Amino acid sequence: MKDSDIDYSDIPELTEEFWKNTELLRPQSKKPITLRIDEEVLRWFKKHGKGYQSYMNAVLRSFIEAHKK
């Protein structure tokens, strides 16, 4: 589907009112480490391209969040 084919008519415009209660959240600082992982795991993440390390971090973070409950 082309962008020009998308119907945006039911999406409200973002006004100052929408943004008034928002808060800018900065990413947490990251610590460089050395980590040994399976080659297959590394290949899988790397095939997703640039930012694969951030992707790995997001997967680990979601695992932590899922196990907090």
Assess contact for 30 and 41: CB atoms under 8 A.
Answer: no
Q: For residue 53, which of 63, 45, 62 has the smallest C-alpha distance?
A: 45
What is the span of the domain harbouring residue 53?
Answer: 3-68
**Can you give the pLDDT at residue 42?**
96
60: tokens are: 């680990």
Query: pLDDT tens, 36-68?
Result: 999 999 999 999 999 999 999 999 989 998 998
Question: Which amino acid makes up residue 17?
Answer: E
pTM confidence score: 0.57
- The structural domain count of the chain equals 1
